[in-house]
């Protein structure tokens, strides 16, 4: 297995209610799973190929539980990536050069019947995990905005909550927030999300899974 590592801050949005039951092996809110994630790679490599400074995104959809399969995926890779970097990132996002079940990317790919062609686009991501804010734009593919949860009874304040999964395959700690996202005509996966589950987390992945502190 080839040696690789990626580390950065990840922002995502799916169709579940705040808390996302899928994180706890429960049925998704409406019985289906649709969403995306965008990752800013602060440092990383694939053997001798430097991956630092690039951005990637993954769009996904399942008609039921992820574990029941029949899903579809589409990866988007920073258009600034070289051919070597593109090959490396597509390999990682498609769960290759990874131990079985070690990362959520491996699981997502294993549970998907359809892998749409990868897109190469400029990816904008402004994200602050401490403030629980984010905005992401991929021309023709995605417009998204995330912010803290604001309860109706305290509209002038915010509600902070975290998910802690010590044995997780995507993260150990994630901030929860509220996000709204819409895909464009160039996305193979349609999303039209409004004030649903938003997720902010530090991601540290290798071919053997999460690199833990």
pLDDT at 201: 98
- Other beta carbons within 10 angstroms of residue 147's beta carbon come to 17
Structure tokens at 121: 């686009």
Q: Rounded CA gap, 29 and 39, in Å? A: 24
Domain boundaries of the chain, sorted by first residue = 4-210
Tokens 């502190």 sit at which residue? 213
Task: Please tell me the pTM assigned to this model.
Answer: 0.95
Domain 4-210 has CATH 2.40.400: yes
**Ranges of the chain whose pLDDT falls below 70:** 153-155
pLDDT at 153: 67
pLDDT single digits (tens) 35-52: 999 999 999 999 999 999
What count of Cα atoms within 13 Å lies in the side-chain half-sphere of residue 28? 19
pLDDT at 47: 98
Quote the percentage of the chain above a pLDDT of 70.
Answer: 99
For 68, phi and psi rounded to 5 degrees? -90, -5
């Amino acid at each position: 297995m080839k040696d690789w590592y990626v580390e950065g801050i990840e922002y995502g949005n799916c169709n579940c209610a705040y808390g996302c039951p899928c994180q706890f092996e429960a049925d998704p809110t409406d019985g289906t799973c649709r969403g995306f994630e965008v990752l800013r790679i602060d440092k990383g490599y694939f053997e001798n190929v430097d991956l630092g400074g690039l951005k990637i995104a993954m769009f996904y959809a399942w008609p039921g539980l992820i574990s029941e399969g029949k899903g579809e995926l589409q990866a988007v890779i920073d258009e600034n990536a070289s051919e070597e970097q593109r090959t490396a990132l597509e390999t990682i996002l498609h769960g290759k050069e990874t131990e079985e079940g070690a990362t959520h990317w491996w699981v997502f790919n294993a549970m998907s019947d359809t892998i749409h062609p990868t897109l190469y686009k400029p990816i904008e991501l402004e994200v602050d995990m401490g403030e629980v804010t984010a905005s992401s734009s991929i021309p023709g593919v995605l417009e998204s905005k995330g912010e803290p949860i604001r309860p109706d009874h305290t509209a002038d304040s915010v509600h902070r909550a975290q998910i802690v999964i010590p044995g997780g395959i995507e993260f150990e700690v994630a901030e929860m927030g509220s996000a709204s996202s819409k895909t464009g005509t160039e996305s193979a996966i349609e999303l039209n999300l409004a004030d649903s589950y938003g997720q902010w987390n530090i991601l540290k992945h290798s071919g053997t899974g999460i690199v833990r502190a």
